[in-house]
């Protein structure tokens, strides 16, 4: 054994099984790109999803196979993988995908990801990624400009909205706790009970943040909302004052610029004023709606995200970047650095360069900025203003169509989110009665399930005042008016079918 280990002849001209010749790589790459170009062209004619069960997918994958002992032909592997995915995926790039908040991916971004992984820059330290780091810095600056946020801010590209919001919370915690929270933590002397404030419309990242960073979800103060479900600033002020007088340490207020359910925008200017008054950190979750700030004529409330100490936005939502790309901006770059940096002896990085490891939770970091950088230049500020504005106009058009339609009750429309429900004509008169409401909830839940399996359109749901609603969110540059106009009849068809079946079970309301 020892002898074998010492014989290194085979390593003289090493040929690792994972390697490819440039010609092999070229041939494989060309056929993959050809396949993907066809796929992109075919997208509008494909079902949004094929609605297969986990069991069916596992059997296609031969999920029971054990780990391969030996290798296989990369060409065969890549074509099999393409077919598996193209035949069995849900396509958020489809013109009729309007679920959750996931955008169609920009084709140039798709190619950017290929380039990024070929370079494989580790954007944790400048010297490991000299051009990639500079390019990320430029991307962050352009994102800030697009939002109307100070462009000399600190910022970092992260995996998505959750992580971008986490960065804001950590920066706030380090900046506003009046003890050295990074060293002492939350329990040692002289720590006090930290308090963060948000409305119940805040996305659930806030639970994870409070939990993971040791603050505890019980420390979140849930601020009341007005009848439009926007934060009630008087209640915010009252709760902060109460907590301060109790000796707690209020440190952070979260305002939302485009809520996940309905796209509502909190009164950000008023929240900013309360934060100034009480010396609290003002964070805006603009993961969904932030980029709408680039659209001329958008609400002044949203534009006030420019006053925040930190902002989370998501290029993989309204910049149409392929997953994953989020972005955290912190007004004061030095404050941001102070929340994350350590200097271990094994990282010999020059202080005068930007080392993103000092500004983020991650250590090794991929090159997510490239796809964003490319599309920002492909379309420019005006291109984004137009596309985002068009998405909003389509959501407005959909609301109007639903509002006029006898089978629907249109509920809300804000930014590019529209909520509504199917209401059979015979129930119109009884809307609001407990029995009818219970039935409408069951009916619309089942409509959604069947729509998801059907593959004609894809949407998700919102719950407002205990009503289960259908919800479309258009962050999709492929959606046109024709797609929107097709929606009411498609949903009504499912509605009639489900209603006919459910009525038999709910005799009490029929
Ligand atoms: C307002 C808001 N914040 C945060 C998030 C979380 O973003 P991500 O899924 O990119 O982590 C979402 C997701 O939809 C969101 O709508």
421-436 pLDDT tens trace: 999 999 999 999 999 9
Task: State the chain's mean pLDDT as an integer.
Answer: 96
Q: Which atom of ligand 1 is nearest to the CA of 258?
A: 1
CA distance 343 to 496: 64
Please choose, from the candidates 75, 84, 79, 78, the residue with its C-alpha nearest in 3D space to the C-alpha of residue 52: 84
Residues 6+ apart with CB under 8 A from 402: 408, 410, 418, 420, 488
Tokens read off for 407: 């089978």
In this prediction, what percent of the chain has a pLDDT beyond 90? 93
Q: How far is the CA of 260 from the centre of ligand 1 (A)?
A: 7
Q: How far apart are the CA of 163 and the centre of ligand 1, in A?
A: 9
Confidence class for position 3, pLDDT limits 50, 70, 90: low
The C-alpha atoms of residue 425 and residue 135 are separated, in whole angstroms, by: 57
Instruction: Report pLDDT digits (tens) over 207-244.
Output: 999 999 999 999 999 999 999 999 999 999 999 999 99
- For helices 205-212 and 161-176, the axis angle rounded to 10 degrees is 50
Output the CA 257–ligand 1 centroid distance in Å.
Answer: 11
Cα of 391 vs centre of ligand 1, distance in Å, is: 18
Average pLDDT over residues 273-278: 98
Residue 405 contacts by C-beta under 8 Å, 6 or more apart in sequence?
Answer: 488, 492
Which runs of consecutive H residues, i.e. helices, occur in 148-217? 161-176, 181-184, 205-212
Q: How many Å apart are CA 326 and CA 158, to the nearest integer?
A: 5
Ligand 1 nearest atom to the CA of residue 202, by list position = 1
Q: Cα–Cα distance between 144 and 359 in angstroms, integer?
A: 16
Who contacts 300 (Cβ-Cβ below 8 Å, separation ≥6)? 269
Q: Is 205 in the pocket of ligand 1 (CB under 6 A)?
A: yes
Written as six digits, the tokens of 339 are 């929340």
d(CA 23, CA 47): 36
User: Tokens at residue 95, please?
Assistant: 């013109």
pTM for this one? Answer: 0.96
Residue to mutate (ligand 1; options 164, 207, 288; most atoms within 8 A of CB): 288
Among 214, 211, 234, smallest CA distance to 224 is for 234
Indicate which atom in ligand 1 lies nearest the CA of residue 259: 1
Is there a contact between 161 and 205 (Cβ–Cβ < 8 Å)? yes
Give yes or no for residue 510 having a pLDDT over 50: no
* Packed helices 268-278 and 233-246: angle between N→C axes, nearest 10 degrees: 20
Cβ-based neighbours of 389, under 8 Å, separated by 6 or more: 295, 296
Report the pLDDT value the prediction gives residue 2, as an integer from 0 to 100. Answer: 57
pLDDT tens by residue, 166-214:
999 999 999 999 999 999 999 989 999 999 999 999 999 999 999 999 9
Query: Does the beta carbon of 176 lie inside 6 Å of ligand 1?
Result: no
Which ligand 1 atom sits nearest the alpha carbon of residue 289?
A: 1
Using CA atoms, how far apart are residues 47 and 40, in angstroms rounded to an integer? Answer: 13
Task: Retrieve residue 455's tokens.
Answer: 């593959």
**Structural contact between residues 421 and 405, judged by C-beta atoms closer than 8 angstroms:** no
160 lines ligand 1 (CB under 6 A): yes
């Amino acid at each position: 054994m020892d002898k074998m280990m010492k014989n290194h002849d085979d390593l003289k001209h090493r040929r690792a099984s994972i390697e490819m010749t440039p010609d092999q790589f070229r041939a494989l790459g060309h056929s993959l790109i050809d396949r993907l170009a066809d796929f992109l062209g075919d997208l509008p004619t494909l079902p949004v999803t094929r609605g297969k069960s986990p069991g069916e997918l596992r059997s296609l994958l031969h999920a029971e196979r054990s780990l391969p002992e030996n290798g296989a032909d990369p060409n065969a592997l890549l074509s099999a993988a393409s077919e598996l995915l193209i035949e069995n995926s849900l396509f958020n790039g489809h013109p009729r995908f309007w679920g959750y908040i996931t955008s169609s991916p920009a084709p140039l971004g798709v190619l950017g990801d290929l380039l990024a992984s070929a370079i494989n820059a580790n954007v944790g330290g400048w010297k490991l990624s000299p051009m990639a780091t500079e390019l990320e810095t430029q991307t962050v600056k352009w994102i800030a400009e697009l939002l109307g946020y100070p462009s000399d801010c600190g910022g970092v590209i992260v995996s998505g909205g959750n992580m971008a919001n986490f960065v804001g919370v950590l920066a706030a915690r380090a900046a506003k706790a009046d003890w050295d929270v990074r060293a002492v933590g939350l329990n040692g002397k002289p720590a006090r009970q930290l308090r963060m404030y948000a409305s119940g419309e805040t996305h659930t990242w806030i639970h994870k943040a409070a939990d993971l960073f040791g603050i505890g979800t019980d420390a979140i103060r849930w601020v009341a909302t007005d009848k439009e479900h926007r934060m009630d600033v008087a209640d915010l002020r009252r709760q902060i004052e109460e907590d301060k007088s109790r000796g707690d340490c209020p440190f952070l207020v979260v305002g939302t610029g485009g809520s996940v359910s309905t796209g509502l925008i909190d009164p950000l200017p008023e929240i900013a004023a309360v934060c100034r008054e009480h010396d609290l950190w003002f964070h805006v979750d603009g993961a969904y709606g932030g980029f709408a700030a680039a659209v001329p004529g958008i609400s002044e409330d949203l534009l006030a995200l420019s006053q925040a100490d930190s902002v989370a936005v998501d290029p993989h939502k309204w910049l149409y970047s392929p997953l994953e790309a989020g972005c955290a901006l912190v007004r004061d770059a030095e404050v941001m650095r102070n929340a994350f940096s350590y200097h271990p002896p094994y990282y010999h990085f020059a202080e005068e360069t930007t080392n993103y490891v000092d500004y983020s939770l991650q250590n090794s970091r991929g090159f997510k900025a490239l796809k964003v950088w490319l599309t920002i230049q492909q379309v420019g500020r005006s291109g984004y203003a137009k596309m985002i504005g068009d998405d909003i106009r389509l959501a407005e058009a959909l609301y109007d169509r639903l509002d006029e339609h006898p089978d629907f009750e249109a509920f809300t429309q804000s930014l590019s989110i529209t909520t509504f429900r199917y209401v059979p004509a015979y129930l119109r008169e009884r809307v609001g009665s407990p029995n009818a409401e219970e039935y409408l909830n069951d009916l619309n839940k089942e409509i959604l399930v069947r729509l998801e399996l059907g593959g004609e359109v894809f949407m998700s749901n919102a719950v407002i005042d205990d009503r289960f609603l259908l919800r479309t969110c258009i962050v999709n540059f492929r959606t046109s008016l024709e797609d929107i106009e097709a929606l009411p009849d498609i949903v009504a068809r499912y509605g009639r079918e489900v209603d006919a079946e459910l009525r038999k079970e709910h005799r009490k309301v029929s």
